[in-house]
Structure 1
Amino acid sequence: MPAHDFSPVPGHTHARVLDSDGNPVITTTGLTKVYRSRGREVTALDGVDLHVREGEVYGVIGQSGAGKSSLIRCVNLLERPTAGTVTVAGQDLTALAGRGQRAGKELRQARSRIGMVFQHFNLLSTRTVRDNVELPLEILGKSGKERSRKALELLELVGLADQAGAYPAQLSGGQKQRVGIARALAGDPKVLLSDEATSALDPETTRSILQLLRDLNRQLGLTVLLITHEMDVVKSVCDSAALMENGRIVESGTVSELLGTPGSELASALFPVGGAATGEDRTVIDVTFQGEAATRPVISQLSRTYNIDISILGAAIDTVGGLQVGRMRIELPGRYEDNVVPVGFLREQGLQIDIVGEPQLAKEGAK
């Protein structure tokens, strides 16, 4: 697919909507990255448009090779894009000279306001915890007294004040990542980038690190862009999310918006439900509940109102961003044309309804 073709991928939901509640602090437009090696070209990013609003936690999810790491490295110009632009806090970084370690002065200054947390911590083994946190401040030319004060404040913030004199080898994986987060905050950034920050950690430690990122997001007003291949990460902390495939964003939006989008791959992955029809004369429906609707006995009301037997084939319920969300797959007796009225009843309750298999009559009824 050519890099200038930004149309949605057929068969996918393209749900990028920037609402009016927040200004975009990270924007990429037509972002393309092509790697060339030994006469071959590999397109890692293929015209990516991304909008991350101020103060939100935005997750980019996808399988290995989807382009996630290239995206986040292009956002802070560790990698220079082949084409397209990157704007952070109103500044076009792609207009500044240099890249990576050879960045010009203006780009270095811009990148000092963008924190970066890495998957494998990237701590210096010969430096103490406090010295690791001080490193960015040292590069910025801060005095020893100022560096020490700031490092201790940050270690207190991430819960490691008592480990200031320890060395990385003496720490657990979760503690090392907390040091990495403290170091990323040394320059008082407004944007924090997280490159698979929890993928090397056990589930319990992952939860504590994600909670820390959410707390920092709220306490410091940080805008957090994180990449991950773990759906639970999106479910736990993200306000918005995007799905990447083959270097393109094929679906994006707020989590609540995605959960209310018919056919959303991300919604289905966040709350997977299974179960197939027990016969040809059956209608299988996926019902998505959000907020108060998740606690109402809607299915039992449906059964009583229309005197029909309903089979529950699968269900999942959880809390996303403080909002209770659930999905349920149910089976109704009869074909879809026999269940137009019961399905309409469910839609009238404010529920998202997806007809499994989507017969033509169902598509027309949803319009």
Structure 2
Amino acid sequence: MITTTDLTKVYRTRDREITALDGVNLHVREGEVFGVVGQSGAGKSSLIRCVNLLERPTSGTVTVDGQDLTALAGGGNRASTDLRRARSRIGMVFQHFNLLSSRTVQGNVELPLEILGLTGRERSRKALELLDLVGLADKARSYPAQLSGGQKQRVGIARALAGEPKVLLSDEATSALDPETTRSVLQLLRDLNRQLGLTVLLITHEMDVVKAVCDSAALMKEGRVVESGTVAELLSTQGSELARELFPVGGRPSSEGRTVVDVTFHGETTTEPVISQLSRTYNVDISILGAAMDTVGGKQVGRMRIELPGSFEDNVVPIGYLREQGLTVDVADVAAAPEDATDATEAVDTTGAEDTVDKGADGGTDGEAAPAAGQQTARAEEVAK
């Protein structure tokens, strides 16, 4: 549905050039929710504005629904008639709502319908339908100043849907909202994606947004896409930076000469006691340094950081066993904990910590994060319990 090929955007000032996009290749499939994540300055907003040609790319192509928008742009600064027509099928939701304070909620939704030339009766009917769709039918005659942030964003979404777009672009649409409101807006986007068959491309710096609604994701750094794929693929890819960002787990080895491994559980492995089986099978002491579990795309996914005694060469067989069980295993490059931290670790009451973390790793919790085990070492027979 959306494809960018070698997309480049260079901003030129009097004395220098700034490359915001550096050969970006991206493909968003029809009907999916695709998230682009990255830190500020990574080029995310430039990318989404180039997708509908609010920003003209310096080079490269943008194809939306089979149309090469860059070929429709023309040579001047003003959009051609063909480009304006193509843009009408691409809705956009902005971070700061961009509502007209002098217009009612209904009036804001009717604005693009006016531009499209619909009659007053048609505009009114369509606007009220859209407001009902986003849950604001009772706010039609209110003004933006009378609405909460979440309600304003819902108006922005209704306005973006006015042209019956096939594609919806969202530029940090939830970054100005509180967590609860963010969840409701994201759920609305997911519902619209399913009900209307919308393809949604959203820009965010929040990993929770990707976990909540995205089918696929891409990580941007310094104007480049460094990693992309479906969320399921990324979580099962060894060494995936985006997977580490989605499920960060901490913890350092208790001393030198130990191997720290990050294990990702997905699919059926989330309900299997794999760590217990490993300890029992190879009679190996395992320290659980940290663990987390969450739901992605309706499926449980977990990550755990464990410590194995000895060097990597000493643990080739146990690590191979984990991979044979369908787990994604990455050897973490972390420094040993400082010696003066040992006493503090030993002073923590770890009663029952083993059981809690084992449940978190093996799917026994309801999607809650399992607490870190404070570098507690579990002998084979204890973990087996």
Map of 1:84 onto structure 2: 60
Q: Percent identity?
A: 82
1:158-179 deviation line (CA, Å, top 9, x unaligned): 0000000000000000000000
**2:301 maps to 1:330:** no
What corresponds to 1:255 in structure 2? 231
Secondary structure, aligned partner of 1:43: strand
Match of 2:256 among 280, 284, 289: 280
* Structure 1 counterpart SS, 2:100: coil
Aligned partner of 2:356 in structure 1 is none
Determine if the alignment matches structure 1 residue 239 to structure 2 residue 221.
Answer: no
Aligned residue number for residue 355 of structure 2 = none
> How far, CA to CA, are the matches of 2:268 and 2:89 in structure 1?
40
Query: If you compute each CA radius of gyration, which structure gives the higher value, 1 or 2?
Result: 2
What CA RMSD, in Å, does the superposition of the two structures yield over aligned residues? 1.4
The TM-score with structure 2 as length reference comes to 0.85
Partners in 2 of 1:68 and 1:210 — Cα distance?
A: 19
Q: How does 1:290-309 map to 2 (within 5 A)?
A: 290-309=266-285
Query: For residues 59 and 296 of structure 1, do their structure 2 counterparts lie closer, same or farther at Cα, with a shift above 3 Å needed?
Result: same
- Alignment partners' CA distance in 1, 2:78 and 2:59: 19
Q: 1:200 to 1:116 in 2, by over 3 A?
A: same
- Are 1:208 and 2:184 matched, yes or no? yes
The amino acid across from 1:143 in the alignment is T
What does residue range 74-223 of structure 1 map to in structure 2 within 5 Å?
Answer: 74-98=50-74, 102-223=78-199
Q: What secondary structure sits across from 1:151 in the alignment? A: helix
Q: Which moved more, 1:91-100 or 1:316-325?
A: 91-100
Aligned residue type for 2:8: T
Residue pair 1:80, 1:99 contacting (<8 A) in 2 also? no
Displacement of 1:40: 1.8
1:99 to partner: Cα distance: 8.9
State the secondary structure of the residue aligned to 2:185. helix
Q: 2: distance between equivalents of 1:341 and 1:121?
A: 55
Q: Tell me whether 1:51 sits opposite 2:27 in the alignment.
A: yes
1:357 shift after superposition: 2.9
Cα 1:72–1:202 shift into 2, 3 Å: same
Partner amino acid, structure 2, of 1:63: Q
* Runs of at least 5 residues in structure 1 that lack an aligned partner in the other structure: 1-24, 359-367
Note if contact 1:79-1:100 (Cα within 8 Å) is conserved in structure 2.
no
Return the letter of the residue paired with 2:95: Q
Check conservation: 1:125, 1:169, Cα contact below 8 A: yes
Counterpart CA distance in 1 for 2:59 and 2:42 is 18
**Matched letter for residue 305 of structure 1:** T
How far apart are the structure 1 equivalents of 2:41 and 2:95? 16
Q: Using the TM superposition, give the Cα deviation of residue 37 of structure 1 relative to its aligned residue in structure 2, in angstroms.
A: 1.5
Q: Which amino acid aligns with 1:264?
A: S
Cα distance in structure 2, aligned partners of 1:180 and 1:272: 33
Who is 1:266 aligned against?
Answer: 242
State TM-score, norm by structure 1. 0.89
Q: CA deviation at 1:338?
A: 1.9
Q: Does 1:224 align with 2:203?
A: no
Residue aligned with 1:102, SS = coil
Q: CA deviation at 1:279?
A: 2.1
Cα distance in 2 between the residues matched to 1:96 and 1:332? 59
Q: Which runs of 4+ in 1 moved over 6 A?
A: none
Determine the C-alpha separation between the residues in 2 that align with 1:350 and 1:227: 31
Aligned to 2:329: 353
The answer to whether the 8 Å contact 1:287/1:351 transfers is yes
Q: How much does 1:98 deviate?
A: 4.7
Deviation at residue 345 of structure 1 after TM alignment: 1.3
| Structure 1 residue 44: Cα displacement | 0.7
8 A contact 1:78–1:100 mirrored in 2: no
For 2:201, give the aligned amino acid. Answer: L
How many pairs does the alignment contain?
A: 334
User: C-alpha offsets along residues 320-361 of structure 1, whole Å, 9 cap, x if unaligned?
Assistant: 111110110001122222222211211111000111239xxx
SS at match of 2:252: coil
Letter in 2 for 1:146: E
1:100 CA displacement: 10
Give the drift of 1:282. 1.5
CA shift for structure 1 position 108: 0.4
Partner Cα distance (1:191, 1:256) in 2: 23
Pick the aligned partner of 2:45 from 66, 69, 74. 69
How far, CA to CA, are the matches of 1:58 and 1:160 in structure 2?
Answer: 26
Matches within 5 A, 1:22-37: 25-37=1-13
Cα separation, 2, equivalents of 1:347 and 1:97? 50
**Residue type at the aligned position of 1:311:** S
* Aligned-partner SS, 2:175: coil
In 1, Cα distance between equivalents of 2:318 and 2:43: 43
SS of equivalent to 1:107: helix
